[in-house]
Amino acid sequence: MDIDFWQNKDNSKKVIKEKKLFEELINSYNFSANKLKDIEDINQLAIEENNQLIQEETLLEIENLKTLVKRNEIKCFLSSETDLLDCYIEIHAGAGGTESQDWADMLRRMYLKWSDNKNFKSNLISEHKGEEAGIKSSTIKIEGDYVFGWLKKESGIHRLVRISPFDSGARRHTSFASIWVYPVVDENINIEIVEKDLRIDTYRSSGAGGQHVNTTDSAVRITHIPSKIVVQCQNERSQHKNKETCLNMLKARLYDHEMKKKEKEIQNTESSKSDIGWGHQIRSYVLQPYRLVKDNRTNFESTNPDKILDGELDEFLEQSLYKIK
């Protein structure tokens, strides 16, 4: 193999990821085809011998095979050039103060739990805590196979209905938070950033990290003036490392911005930065007076919101891959 291939680490990592996916699909297809042939042969013998037990076992084998085929079918939907990339998730609380800030924190926990369930790696990039509870905003990064492909349809407004734990009158409240998912772009994607277009601010971090974080201006905020995109990072003690992370995030945001513009021209879709409120939500999570999570785009629903909020999102994510263009 060309030595230049290995010198370009980002490109080689991308190609190896793709190779791994294709090999898994081919091997799984061959396994499924052979398994189906074996099941047909065994079932035919069971019918001839009138063996009910073996026939029941073959039915179970078919169900297991259907599950495997479905899993591979989903992988085939992750074919975009950005699907295999890692991703950032930005979470912003809507209007409503503590209620919405607590809901934003619940959503962050949901995605972190999903990441843990998948054995993916997650990092907290930045957060702004609420005055009483929850978060006003936060950015996390998730790394793993086809993370962006899995989560790309999660961008939008998420709505919660529940009896408020912060209301002494135990009244029902509706809260909103926005999710924005965009890919971590690699060096092969050329995004030009002109230094004169940037405003760089430093400030003291408010997150975890001990006394050092709170006494130095290590946190960095970068504003891209032409697009008005703002990124910030405070998870490192080094201002230099935070600035580097910010620039990578900005590159990702600018790439996502351009992709969204192209999609809007083709599909005439609404911007993912809609107003955080009524009429724009993509999914509703109702805890009272009944229990239901429903995706407004696919109409897929679950009557077990606790499971969903604990990160078991795959059924919703699969439906979005099938049904949302």
Q: What is the pLDDT of residues 215-224, one digit of tens each?
A: 577 889 999 9
C-alpha torsion sign, points 247, 193, 138, 210: positive
User: Residue 265: pLDDT band by 50, 70, 90 thresholds?
Assistant: low
The least confident of 51-60, 76-85, 194-203 is: 76-85
Please tell me whether residue 206 adopts helix, strand or coil conformation.
coil
Establish whether the linkage from the previous residue to 289 is cis, with ω within 30° of 0: yes
CA distance linking residue 188 with residue 17, whole number of Å: 15
Q: What percent of the chain has pLDDT over 70?
A: 86
The least confident of 71-80, 122-131, 232-241 is: 71-80
The least confident of 64-73, 95-104, 116-125 is: 64-73
Q: What percent of the chain has pLDDT over 90?
A: 39
CA distance linking residue 306 with residue 125, whole number of Å: 26
Largest CA distance in the chain: 81
Cα atoms in the Cβ-side hemisphere of radius 13 Å centred on 102: 17
In angstroms, what CA-CA distances link 30 with 57, 74, 77?
A: 22, 17, 19
Query: What mean pLDDT is reported for the chain?
Result: 85
pTM, to two decimals:
0.73
Q: Return the closest-CA partner of residue 82 out of 10, 189, 7.
A: 189
208 versus 54: which is more confidently predicted? 54
How is the beta sheet containing 229-233 ordered, strand by strand?
A: 198-203, 219-224, 229-233
> Which domains can be identified in the chain, with CATH numbers?
3-77 (no CATH), 87-183+279-323 (3.30.70.1660), 195-265 (3.30.160.20)
Instruction: Give me the pLDDT at residue 162, please.
Output: 94
